[in-house]
Amino acid sequence: MKKINLKVNDIKVPIIIGREIFKTINIAEYVSKNDVVIVTNSTIAKLYLMQTRRLFREFNVSTLVLPDGEKHKNIQTIQKIYDFLIKSKLDRSVTIVALGGGVIGDMVAFAADTFMRGVDLIHIPTTLLAQVDSSIGGKCGINHPLGKNLIGSFKHPRAVIMDTAILQTLPKREFMAGMAEVIKYGLIKNKSFFNFIDKNYLKIIKQDYDSLIKTIFTCASIKSQVVQEDELEGGVRAILNFGHTFGHAIEASKNYKGILHGEAISIGMNIASAISADQGYLTHDEYCNIEDMLLNMSMPTMIPKKITVASIAKHLGHDKKKIAGKNRFILLDKIGSAFISDKLNNKYLKDISKNFIS
Ligand SMILES: NC(=O)c1ccc[n+]([C@@H]2O[C@H](COP(=O)([O-])OP(=O)(O)OC[C@H]3O[C@@H](n4cnc5c(N)ncnc54)[C@H](O)[C@@H]3O)[C@@H](O)[C@H]2O)c1
Ligand SMILES: [Zn+2]
């Protein structure tokens, strides 16, 4: 069992990583109240709700099962969570457990932050993406019909419990989407981790015990370190958005259908790496190394058919990360080191995207 202690302001968040840790962890260390509500979705409930209930057996446990899917990450589902909590006559002394991927994690954390002005939360992330990314750092929220993740807040949990055994049932495509974020951490912060992935990706994908634990621990450590330095994304936290400017534009161009977030990020990282080389930061060899790694892992590198440059350009213009009308684009100055540039205008980004249309 490995542990990371994330500290933000006065809040301490233990992140526990291990295999089959449900059997050994003393969950009472992280729950001070008697009432526990486990919130999950219908897919995960079939697989892991029983064992999660067992984990909390010494508490007064109730469960809420929501429909599965990003399309339910909205205010109506938040309303369902509030309805359940209020009808169950629960008050501030409840601990809410988010058992699921990023969709459940984001919604449940937002509900926990706002119900009775904030109640305790525990994350049990069940996707690779949620373990390496969304369960760490406090960002949470829901989509609005006019855009993704437009409503939200920051809510840190009492603990994050990551059990790698849970990933065995994750569909391969979802696992590979999480791998895009894994590669991102190597690219922006840790060259030797990038090299480790390059050498060991087959083992990681097969979920070899040591390789997977090392991968999740390294990613969670990097994310924790970046969040500790800049919780509210005033500065360095923005490097976590490497590959996301084009990634988000691709997702939006496809109306968030038929492409997973990690798949769009894989393409976005390829384009951002090419731009880093075009701007004279990355060497040609470094860029080829990155592209080869993505291709070897059968990750997408080109903008999908039917998406036009005009559509990409339109959505680049809507990027939420803009400050005072200027783009903040994340570049690599070498593998393992990223920085924020405000020098790239939309015309340049639009022109370069032409090279990546399938
Ligand atoms: N808060 C943050 O910092 C942050 C960061 C990145 C992404 N996100 C958000 O995360 C969401 C995406 O999360 P995701 O990729 O985890 O998707 P997801 O939560 O939709 O999960 C993907 C699919 O896998 C299923 N699933 C989950 N765990 C499983 C398991 N162990 N076995 C079998 N099936 C399982 C789910 O039911 C779902 O169908 C997006 O809404 C995104 O905005 C948030
Ligand atoms: Zn992402």
Q: Render pLDDT for 185-239 as a digit per residue (tens, 0 to 9).
A: 999 999 999 999 999 999 999 999 999 999 999 999 999 999 999 888 888 899 9
Kindly state whether residues 159 and 185 are assigned to the same domain: no
pLDDT digit string, tens, across residues 51-95: 999 999 999 999 999 999 999 999 999 999 999 999 999 999 999
Residue with tokens 């009808």: 87
Rounded Cα gap, residues 144 and 77, in angstroms: 12
Sign of CA dihedral 201, 207, 210, 213: positive
Active site residues: 117, 139, 181, 223, 233, 237, 241, 244, 248, 261
Looking at residue 63, its pLDDT comes to 98
Structural domain total, the chain: 2
Looking at residue 324, its pLDDT comes to 56
Rounded Cα gap, residues 337 and 282, in angstroms: 10
Kindly state whether residues 73 and 20 are assigned to the same domain: yes
- Bridge pairing between strands 11-18 and 159-163: parallel
Kindly state whether residues 41 and 116 are assigned to the same domain: yes
Kindly state whether residues 351 and 261 are assigned to the same domain: yes
Mutate to test the pocket of ligand 1, among 72, 103, 181, 320 (most ligand atoms within 8 A of CB): 103
* CATH number for the domain that contains residue 41: 3.40.50.1970
Looking at residue 316, its pLDDT comes to 87
Kindly state whether residues 186 and 91 are assigned to the same domain: no
CA atoms within 13 A on the CB side of 129: 22
- The two tokens of residue 338 are 């990223």
The parent domain of residue 61 ranges over 2-168
Give, as one character, the DSSP assignment of residue 130.
I
Give nearest CA residue, ligand 1 atom 4.
Answer: 134
Kindly state whether residues 281 and 268 are assigned to the same domain: yes
Residue type, 286: E
Q: Which of 75, 94, 99 is nearest to 152 (CA)?
A: 75
* CATH number for the domain that contains residue 192: 1.20.1090.10
**Ligand 2 centroid to 77 CA: how many Å?**
22
Q: Please, what is the Cα angle at 237 between 234 and 240, to 5 degrees?
A: 140
Q: Which of 168, 184, 200 is the last residue of a domain?
A: 168
**Ligand 2 centroid to 165 CA: how many Å?**
23
The answer to whether 126 and 41 are in contact (CB under 8 A) is: no
Phi, psi at 92, each rounded to 5°: -65, -15
Looking at residue 319, its pLDDT comes to 62
Looking at residue 325, its pLDDT comes to 60
Q: Which of ligand 1's atoms lies nearest the C-alpha of 169?
A: 32
Kindly state whether residues 235 and 303 are assigned to the same domain: yes
**Ligand 2 centroid to 275 CA: how many Å?**
19
Q: Which of 168, 189, 210 is the last residue of a domain?
A: 168
Point out the residues of the chain with pLDDT beneath 70: 319-326
Kindly state whether residues 207 and 333 are assigned to the same domain: yes
Kindly state whether residues 151 and 109 are assigned to the same domain: yes
Kindly state whether residues 145 and 268 are assigned to the same domain: no
pTM of the model as a whole = 0.96
Looking at residue 82, its pLDDT comes to 98
Looking at residue 355, its pLDDT comes to 95
Looking at residue 30, its pLDDT comes to 95
Kindly state whether residues 221 and 339 are assigned to the same domain: yes
**Ligand 1 centroid to 261 CA: how many Å?**
9
- The CA dihedral of 227, 233, 236, 242, to the nearest 10 degrees, is 100
Kindly state whether residues 286 and 152 are assigned to the same domain: no
Q: Which of ligand 1's atoms lies nearest the C-alpha of 103?
A: 19
Q: Which of 128, 151, 168 is the last residue of a domain?
A: 168
- The two tokens of residue 46 are 């079939």
